[in-house]
Amino acid sequence: MQPHPAEDLESLMAAYQQADRTAAEALIERLSPQLHRFFMAQVVSRRYADDLLQETWLRIHEARHTYRPGEPVLPWIYAIARHVRVDSYRKVRRTESREQQVDVLPEAPPHGTGSQPGPDLDALLRVLPESQREVIVMLKVSEMTIEQVAQATSSSVGSVKQKAHRAYRKLREVLENMGFGDRGRRSTE
Amino acid sequence: MTPEQIDRVLAESARRSPPQEVDAAVVERAKASLASSLEPVRPLRSSRVFLTILFIISAAVAVLGAVVFGVRGLPVLSAIQRAVIFPMLIAAAAVAGIASVREMRPAAGRRIGSLALALSILVPLAAFAFLFRSYDPGNFVPDGVKCLTAGLACAIPAAIIAALVLRRGFVLDWPAAGIAAGTLAGLAGIGMLELHCPILKAPHIMVWHVAVVWISGLGGWLAGWMVQTAKRRSG
């Protein structure tokens, strides 16, 4: 496949609306990994995340006329992805329990091993309730701004800040129990 | 730990556990399914255009309904009553219109359909309680049922037209869209009643006229829920 000359997501999306096949393929290549990670942070099974990713691209295709050229692409994409996940969750919730509320803390890495400075991200995020987890994934993994996360989740900036604040409080508790507080203090001293 | 230290741990963890490679077959399937129906699309018009369309539809239905049923209410309203009621209904319709338009596009903004419904009930109730001082019940039920029927007779076509407009977008949450469009349609119904109904008794207006809005809003939610359920079953 020839790489598409457009660099930014907004130009790729505008070209995709004009039926530019290479732009559509470039968007899929560029965004699939982060969408997959978004789903993997919420669900347990990789196969299920694959299905959600596939479904998300179908919905994006169906809804592509509702993207307004020039506007940020990520909130629009994540709003659809989030809806696909919620929709699918509702479908399967009677048969499968998807919410993995982790009461057991992620394992702490052995102290003093410089090459293993942090816990596994997905395990760490699973400590958080779903609504806080998705906010942290969008902010820290997809590197969206608070305003973009608010757009993607159809909520207010204040609500996103509150969720992030609560998530950080929980993460602080977990990380300090794992001994990261001491390490953090040591590193800042 | 400070938020910055937590950020560092998160960043280190993300670096240490990069996203699993997406299955190439999944990516290829996505590309193939998009390519098979790739046609140019015209981006949806701006929210202002749709807001104007919805507003004109609501106003037109209210005025046409009043013409059909008879404009007997407007002449008996005082100048203060007219100056408060109609701008209030226009403002409520603007909020309900914005709520409806936001449902047409993903990431279009905070969802305010329920807020629009609550405002469209509570603000008119307060205004009517302030403006109408006669608490004589009169023929409370027979007159009320006539007004409710006439109001809903206007709200239903307004809701159907609003739903057709909403369908041009890509509604993610049909029940929420239903509440917003139902509220807007209910406001068209109550607008028609204020033009048509000559009864100036507070209980009549506060119960039967306002009922058009909440019945229409809840009806919109129910219709939206049915559409969503049908879509999930077919999908």
What is the tens place of the pLDDT at every residue in A163-180?
999 988 888 888 888 777
What mean pLDDT do residues A148-157 have?
90
Domains A1-99 and A102-189 share a fold: no
B40 and A19 within 8 Å at the Cβ level: the answer is yes
| Phi/psi at A80 (5° precision) | -70, -45
**Which of B10, B50, B227 to mutate against chain A (most A CBs within 10 Å)?**
B10
Average pLDDT, chain A: 79
Sequence-distant (≥ 6) Cβ neighbours of residue A121 within 8 angstroms: A141, B10, B13, B14, B16, B17
Q: Could you tell me which CATH number the domain at A102-189 has?
A: 1.10.10.10
Question: Does A149 touch chain B if contact means CB atoms closer than 8 Å?
Answer: no
Per the CB < 8 Å rule, is A121 touching B29?
no
In which band, very low, low, confident or very high, does the pLDDT at A181 lie, cut at 50, 70 and 90? low
- Quote the pLDDT of residue A1: 53
**pLDDT exceeds cutoff 80 at A49:** yes
pLDDT < 70 regions, chain B: 16-20, 235
Q: Is residue B16 part of a domain?
A: yes
Residue B168 lies in a domain: yes
For residue A98, the model assigns a pLDDT of 47
Of the candidates B9, B29, B173, which has its C-beta nearest A118's C-beta?
Answer: B9
**Which residues fall within 8 angstroms of residue B42, CB to CB, at 6 or more apart?**
A65
For position B217, what pLDDT does the model report?
A: 96
Lookup: tokens for B58: 């609501």
- Is A120's pLDDT higher than 80? no
Q: Are B12 and A171 within 8 A, CB to CB?
A: no
Predicted confidence at residue A182, as pLDDT, reads 57
Q: Residue A184 has what pLDDT?
A: 45
Amino acid at A14: A
Contact between B134 and B198 under an 8 Å Cβ cutoff? The reply is no
Residue B204 shares a structural domain with residue B224: yes
Task: Please tell me whether residues B20 and B80 are part of one structural domain.
Answer: no
Residue A70: pLDDT above 70?
yes
The predicted structure's pLDDT at residue B25: 87
Domain range list for chain A = 1-99, 102-189
| Residue A5 pLDDT greater than 60, yes or no | no
Report if residue B42 sits inside a domain. no
The reply to whether B45 touches chain A by the CB within 8 Å rule is: no
Instruction: Supply the pLDDT for residue A107.
Output: 47
Range of the domain at B57: 47-234
For the ranges A23-32, A85-94, A126-135, the maximum mean pLDDT occurs at A23-32
Q: Are residues B121 and B13 located together in one domain of the fold?
A: no
Q: What is the CATH number of domain A1-99?
A: 1.10.1740.10
Q: Is the pLDDT of residue A115 over 50?
A: no
Q: Would residue B171 count as lying in a domain?
A: yes
Question: Which residues of chain B from 132 to 191 reach within 8 Å of chain A, CB to CB?
Answer: 169-170, 172-173
Tell me the pLDDT band of A86, cut-offs 50, 70 and 90: confident
What is the count of structural domains for chain B? 2
B7: nearest CA partner in chain A: A140
Question: Which tops the pLDDT comparison, A142 or A59?
Answer: A59
Q: Would the CA dihedral through B56, B62, B68, B74 be positive or negative?
A: negative
Q: Give this complex's ipTM.
A: 0.84
B73/B185 same-domain check: yes
Alpha-carbon span B235 to A51, nearest angstrom: 14
A102 pLDDT tier (thresholds 50, 70, 90): very low
Q: Clarify whether residues B12 and B53 are in a common domain.
A: no
**Two structure tokens written together for B224:** 């939206």
A176 touches chain B (CB under 8 A): yes
| Claim to verify: residue B26 and residue B63 sit in the same structural domain | no
Res B19: pLDDT = 61
